[in-house]
Amino acid sequence: MESPVLLLVLLGLSALAYQLGRRRALSVAGGQIRQLHSLPSYYGYHVALWCAVPALLLFAAWNAFEGSIVTQTVVADLPAHIRELPPEQLALVVNDIRNIVGGNIVSKEVDADMQAAADHYLHLRNLSRAALSVSVLGLAIAGAAFALTRVRREQRARNAVERAILVFLIASSTLAIFTTIGIVLSVLFESLRFFQQVSVTEFLFGLQWSPQMAIREDQVGSSGAFGAVPLFAGTMLISAIAMVVAVPIGLMSAIYLSEYAGRKFRATAKPMLEILAGIPTVVYGFFAALTVAPFIRDSGSMLGLDVSSESALAAGLVMGIMIIPFVSSLSDDVINAVPQAMRDGAYGLGATRSETIRKVIIPAALPGIVGGILLAVSRAIGETMIVVMAAGLSANLTANPLEAVTTVTVQIVTLLVGDQEFDSPKTLAAFALGLMLFLTTLVLNVIALHVVRKYREQYE
Amino acid sequence: MKDQQQAMELVRASLARRYAAERRFRVAGLTAILLGLTFVSFLFVSIIANGHPAFWQTVIQLEVKFDSQFLDPTGERSPDVLSAADYGGLVKQTLREMFPDVSGRRDKRELYGLVSTGAAYQLRNMVMSEPALVGSTKKVWVPADDDVDMLMKGHLSREAPEAERRLSDKQVAWIDDLIGMGQLEKRFNTTFFTAGDSREPELAGIWGAAVGSFFTLVVTLCLSFPVGVAAAVYLEEFAPQNRWTDLIEVNINNLAAVPSIVFGLLGLAVFLNFFALPRSAPVVGGLVLTLMTLPTIIIASRAALKSVPPSIREAALGIGSSKVQMVVHHVLPLALPGMLTGTIIGMAQALGETAPLLMIGMVAFIVDIPGSAFDPSTVLPVQIYLWADSPERAFVEKTSAAIMVLLSFLIVMNAFAIMLRKRFERRW
C-alpha cells in the first residue's frame, strides 16, 4: 500500500475506534452517562489514540530505517567483485541501482549484475512496503482492541487523553530549543571540519579571500585563501550605509508620527510606511540592481567619479530603505512608552515641542532606541537577497562606498549554490561564515533584547 | 525685579531662534516621512512601469499547411509518427512560403529567427490533439521571438545602427511587412500564467513557480500552525514559571531574529545531508520555512491568548471544567482570530522568503510543473531571482511582472489578515 493511502486508512481506523470506544463506554454504563468517570467521547478519544499513536510511531521508524536496511541487504548480496570496490565507487553503484529502480538515467551501461541487484532491491522494497502495511494496520487494530477491553466505568479516560494532549503541547514548545541546537550543531560541526584544514587565525585575521580551490593538483592560480576580513569589512560597510539611511529617516518619522502628526495622518502614513517592511527582499534586490545601481553609476560618472556598477552604495541605500520601517516602528513603541508626565513637565517649564523631544524624550527613550538600532543592525548584517543581487562577488578590502565589495551572506550563497563536494574547504567555509553570522547576530540580539527589556521595566 | 525683567528679555530675544528651530525640526520629521512614502511609491511605480508590458505578447499569424506528405509520409496517422514529425521544419517551410523571395542561408536563418522555437511545439500539440488537421491548411497565431517582442514594445531602438541591434535591417523590414499584412499583433500573454520556466523569455511563465510556492506554503501551514498554536498554548496556559520555560522563551525570541539564511544552512545540513530528503523539493522548503515562521506564529498566538480576559478562564474552571477543557472550549475559540492573523502574516513572510530556499537547492532550472510536494520545483521569489539574473532584456519585464504577481498575493494575504483582525477584534 502507498504511504498516503496507508495513512488515510489509519485515519479511518482511528475514527472507527473512536466510535467503538464511545459505544463501548455507553454500553458499559448501561446508557447512564452519570455512571462513567469521564464523558463517553473521552473513552472514544482514548481508544482512537491507542489505535493511531503506536501505529504512527512504527510508520515513522520504519520509514526512517527502511532505506538503509534495504540498501545494506542489497549490497551484502552483490557479487564479490563489486562489493570489494572502494567505498566511493560502491556508493556510485548503489546510486545506479536506485536509479534503475526509479527508472532514471543511469551513469553507465546496465550489466546483468546491476539488473539483478536492482530487481533484488525492488523485490526487497516491495516486501518491506507490504510488511509495513500489514504491521502498521495490525498494530492499529491491536492497540484499539487493547484499549477497548480496558474501558470500564471507573477508568480515568479524560485524564489519560489530557495527558496525551499535554505531551503534544510540551513537545511543540521544545521545538524552539531543538531548532537552536540544530542550528548550532549543523554549523559548528562543519566549521570544525573547516578549521581542521584552515587555521582559525588565518580565517579571522587573513586579508585574502579567494575560495576557488584547485580541482586538480596541477591547476594554476587557485590555491584558495580563506581570510575573512574583507568579507567582514564589506558587510560592515554596507550595513553602515544602510544605517546612515535608515536611522535618521526612521527615527525622525517615528518622532513626527508620535509627537506631531494628527490622528488621521498617523492612521494613513504609518501603514503606508509599513508596506516597506512587507515587501520581499528579492524585490528590493531587483530594484537595487535594476534601478538604483545604474542611477548611482550614471550620476557618479556625470560628476566625474568612477562608480562600480555593483557599488556598495547602491546595496546599502536600498537596504537602508528596507530597514526604515523596522527602526521607525521600534522607536515609535519606545517613544510612546515615555510617560506623558515627562512631556507635561517639560512643557510646563516653557520648552517648545522640539526642545521637549530633544532634551527630554530622546534621552529618556535612548536605551530603547539603541536597542532597536542594534536589532536593525543585526537585520542588516544577516540580509541576503539585496546584497546577492546588487553587491559584488570579489572581496575588496576598501572603505570606498563607490567600489564593489562582497559580504558574508553573498559568499555563503555563492559557495553553496550549485554543485558542491562536501569535504572541500570551499563548501565548509560557508558553514564557518554561517557560524560567524549566527554568533554576531546572536550577540547583537541578546544585547538588544536585554536593553529593551530593561528599559521597559523602568517605566512600567 | 530687574533680574526677572532681564530674564524675560533673554527669553524673548531667543524666542525667534527657538521657534525657527522648532519649525526646522518639524519639517525634518515631515521630510523623513515623505521620503519614506516617496520610496514606497517609487518602488511600486518602477516595478509596475517595467512589468506591465509583460502581460502582452507579440504573436505572428502563420498560414500553416499541415502537409500530409511532410508530416506523415506513410499515411498511418499513428501517434508515434505524428509526434516524431519535424514540426520545426514545418514552421520554416511556412515562413519560406510567406516570404518567397528570401534566399540564401543567412537570410533564411534570420527569417526563421522571427518566430519563437515554441511555435513547433504548439503545432505539434495541435496535431496530436486533433490528427484530422493533417492535410488541411489553417491560420495559426504563434509566439514571436523575444527580440521581435522587444522591438514591438520599444525596448529595441529602430534607429540604432544595425551592428548594435539584436535584429538586422532585413528582419525589421519583414516585421513591418507582417504588421502591414495584419499578421503581427500584441495579445494578452496567457503563456505567462500557464507555463513553467523556460530559457526563452516568450515561453517562460510563472505557473510552475506558483505551484511550487503553493506546495511549500501548504507544508509550512500544516506544520507551523498546529505546532505554533500548541507551543503558545503551553507557554501561556500550562507552563510553570521555571528555568526551562525561560530557556524556551529566550530561544523563541532569538530565533525570531536569526538571519533567514542560517535556517537555510540548517536545512542543508540536517534535512538534506543528514535525513537525505530530496533536494529542491517543496517539502524540504516547507520544513525550513516552518522553523523560520514558528517564532512569528508563537509570538502572535501568545499575544492573542493574553488578550483573553482571565474571567473567562475562571468562569470555566468554576463550573467544573478541567484545564484542558477550559482552554479548548473557551480560550482557544476566543483567541483564534488573533492566532489566524498572526499565521497569515507568517505565511506572507514565508511566501516572500528566498535566501534559505537557495541553500536547499530550490534554485534549479525546472521546466515541469511540480505534481506533488516531493517533485523538484522552485518558488515565486526564487523564480524572480533566477529571471533577474538572466541576460535577455525580455526577462526584465518578466521579472517585474512576476514581482507584481507576488506582491498582489502578499497584499491580498495582508488585507485578509487586517480584515480578520477588524472583524473579530474584541475589546473586553
- Same domain, yes or no: B29 and B133: no
Q: How far apart are CA A99 and CA A309, in angstroms?
A: 45
The segment with the largest mean pLDDT, out of A84-93, A320-329, A399-408, B71-80, is A320-329
In a domain, residue B201? The reply is: no
- How is B182-250 classified by DSSP, letter by letter? T-EEEEE-SHHHH----SSGGG--SHHHHHHHHHHHHHHHHHHHHHHHHHHHIIIII--SSHHHHHHHH
Considering chain A, what percentage of its residues have pLDDT values greater than 90? 40
Task: Read off the C-alpha cell for A274.
Answer: 509599513
Residue B308 placed within a domain: yes
Q: What is the CATH number of the domain that holds B370?
A: 1.10.3720.10
pLDDT of res. B45: 92
Q: Position A174: which residue type?
A: T
Domain identity same for A279 and A377: yes
Residues of A in contact with B248 (CB under 8 A): 173-174, 176-177
Last residue of a domain, one of B168, B195, B222: B195
Within this chain, do residues A128 and A12 fall inside the same structural domain, yes or no? Answer: yes
- Mean pLDDT to the nearest integer, A75-90: 76
Residues in chain B: 428
Last residue of a domain, one of A105, A124, A155: A155
Write down which residue in A139, A155, A171 finishes a domain.
Answer: A155
Chain B residues whose beta carbon lies within 8 Å of the beta carbon of residue A283? 43, 47, 352, 384, 403, 406-407
- Same domain for B173 and B212, yes or no, is no
Tell me the C-alpha distance between A58 and A137, whole Å.
10
What secondary structure, in 3-state letters, does A284-299 show? Answer: HHHHHHHHHHHHHHHH
CA A299 to chain centre: 39
B56-65 and A225-226: which strand pairing?
unpaired
pLDDT recorded at residue A401: 84
Residue B200 domain-assigned (yes or no): no
Contact A442 B233 (CB under 8 A): no
Q: What is the domain range of residue B348?
A: 207-424
Domain-located, residue B398: yes
Task: Closest CB to B294: pick one of A176, A190, A357.
Answer: A176
Q: Which of A242, A57, A199 is nearest to A139 (CA)?
A: A57
CB B356 within 8 A of CB B289: yes
The verdict on residue B324 lying in a domain is yes
For residues B137 and B173, membership in a common domain is answered with yes
Q: Nearest by CB to B255, which of A179, A321, A379? A: A179
Whether B283 and B414 map to the same domain: the answer is: yes
The rounded distance, in Å, linking the Cα atoms of B402 and B191 is 13
Closest CA to B199 of B395, B29, B67, B44: B395
Among B102, B381, B40, B280, residue whose Cα is nearest residue A272: B40
Instruction: Provide the whole-model pTM.
Output: 0.88
Final residue belonging to a domain, choices A126, A155, A184: A155
Interchain proximity B46–A272, CB inside 8 Å:
no
Together in a domain, A151 and A229: no
What pLDDT is stored for residue B424 in this prediction?
81
Q: What is the pLDDT along chain B (428 residues), one digit of tens a residue?
A: 678 888 888 888 889 999 999 999 999 999 999 999 999 999 999 999 988 888 888 888 888 888 777 777 777 777 777 778 888 888 888 888 888 888 888 888 888 888 888 888 888 888 888 888 888 888 888 888 888 888 888 887 777 787 777 888 888 888 888 888 888 888 888 888 988 888 888 888 899 999 999 999 999 999 999 999 999 999 999 999 889 888 898 889 888 889 999 999 999 888 888 887 888 889 999 999 999 999 999 999 999 999 999 999 999 999 999 999 999 999 999 999 889 999 999 999 999 999 999 988 888 888 888 888 888 889 999 999 999 988 788 888 899 999 999 999 999 999 998 888 888 877 76
| Element at B410 (helix H, strand E) | helix B394-424
Helices B2-51 and A312-337, interaxial angle, to 10°? 130
C-alpha closest to that of B338 among B192, B247, B236, B207: B236
The CA distance from B121 to the nearest CA of chain A, in Å, is 24
CA distance B355 to chain A (A): 6
Asked whether the CA dihedral B415, B417, B420, B424 is positive or negative, the reply is negative
Q: pLDDT digit string (tens) for A383-407? A: 999 999 988 887 888 888 888 889 9
Q: What are phi and psi for residue B95, nearest 5 degrees? A: -65, -40
Is residue A185, in this structure, part of any structural domain at all?
no
For residue B248, what is its C-alpha cell? 524556551
Residues 317-376 of A with CB under 8 A from B: 321, 324-325, 328, 350, 352-355, 357-358, 375
pLDDT band at A144 (very low <50, low <70, confident <90, very high): very high
What is the per-residue pLDDT for B67?
Answer: 79
* Domain stops at, among B22, B37, B52: B52
* A280, A358, A375 member nearest B381 (Cβ): A280
Number of structural domains chain B divides into: 3
The residue type of A159 is N
**Residue B211 and residue B319 share a domain:** yes
> Would you call B51 an interface residue with chain A, using a CB distance cutoff of 8 Å?
no
Task: Quote the pLDDT of residue A89.
Answer: 76
What is the interface pTM, i.e. ipTM, of the complex? 0.89
Question: So what's the pLDDT on residue A428?
Answer: 86
Q: A438 touching B, CB under 8 A?
A: yes
What pLDDT score does A108 carry? 62
Question: Per-residue pLDDT averaged across A265-283, rounded?
Answer: 89
Using a CB–CB cutoff of 8 Å, tell me whether B400 touches chain A. Answer: yes
Write out pLDDT tens, residues A8-53: 999 999 999 999 999 999 888 887 888 888 888 999 999 999 999 9
**A435 in a structural domain:** yes
Asked if residue B224 and residue B148 are part of one domain, the reply reads: no
CB contact under 8 A, B294 and A280: no
CB contact under 8 Å between B259 and A384, yes or no, is yes
Q: Of B186, B114, B191, whose CA–CA distance to B147 is shortest?
A: B114
pLDDT of residue A217: 54
∠ CA B318-B319-B322 to the nearest 5 degrees? 80
Whether A114 and chain B come into contact, CB under 8 Å, resolves to: no
Are residues B234 and B88 both part of a single domain?
A: no
Name the residue range of residue A325's domain.
Answer: 225-459
**H/E stretch holding B58:** strand B56-65
- A130-144 average pLDDT score: 91
Give me the pLDDT at residue B123, please: 86
The answer to whether residue A98 scores a pLDDT higher than 80 is: no
Instruction: Give yes or no: residues B244 and B107 share one domain.
Output: no
Cβ contact (<8 Å) for A438 and B259? yes
Residue B235 sits in the same domain as residue B255: yes
Which own/partner pairs from B329-337 qualify as long-range (CB within 8 Å, at least 24 positions apart)? B331/B237, B331/B305, B332/B229, B332/B233, B334/B308, B334/B426, B335/B301, B335/B304, B335/B305, B335/B307, B335/B308, B336/B304, B337/B304, B337/B420, B337/B421, B337/B423, B337/B424, B337/B425
On whether residue B202 sits in a domain, the answer given is no
What pLDDT does residue A214 have? 53
B245 and B126 within one domain = no
Strands B56-65 and B137-143: antiparallel
**Is the same domain home to A370 and A253?**
yes
Q: Element (H or E) spanning B355, and its range?
A: helix B355-359
The verdict on B386 and B250 lying in the same domain is yes
Taking the CA of residue A340 and the nearest CA in chain B, the distance in Å comes to: 20
Q: If you measure CA to CA, which chain B residue comes closest to A42?
A: B325
Does pLDDT of A90 surpass 80? Answer: no
**CA pair distance B352, B346, nearest whole angstrom:** 10
- Please tell me if residue B102 touches chain A, with a CB cutoff of 8 Å: no
Coil, strand or helix: which one is B137? strand
Whether A158 and B322 lie within 8 Å, measured CB to CB: yes
The verdict on A314 and A450 lying in the same domain is yes
Confidence of residue A1 (pLDDT cuts 50, 70, 90): low
What's the domain count of chain A? Answer: 2
B266 and B277 assigned to the same domain: yes
Query: Which residues of chain A are within 8 Å of residue B388 when distances are taken between CB atoms?
Result: 282, 285-286, 289-290, 389
Q: CB burial class (10 A; 0-12, 13-18, 19+) of residue B12?
A: exposed
- Reply yes or no on whether the pLDDT at A104 is more than 80: no
Give the gap in angstroms from C-alpha A288 to the nearest C-alpha of chain B: 10
Structure-block grid coordinates of residue A375: 536589532
Residue B8 Cα, gap to closest chain A Cα (Å): 12
Q: DSSP label at A405?
A: -
Question: Is residue A199 one of the residues assigned to a domain?
Answer: no
Same domain, A431 and A298: yes
Say which amino acid occupies B222: C
- Structural domain includes residue B305: yes
Q: What is residue A244's predicted lDDT score, i.e. its pLDDT? A: 95
Predicted confidence at residue B176, as pLDDT, reads: 86
**A267 C-beta neighbours (distance < 10 Å), count:** 10
Residue A99 has a pLDDT of: 74
Phi, psi of A338 (to 5 degrees): -70, 125
* Residue A209 belongs to a domain: no
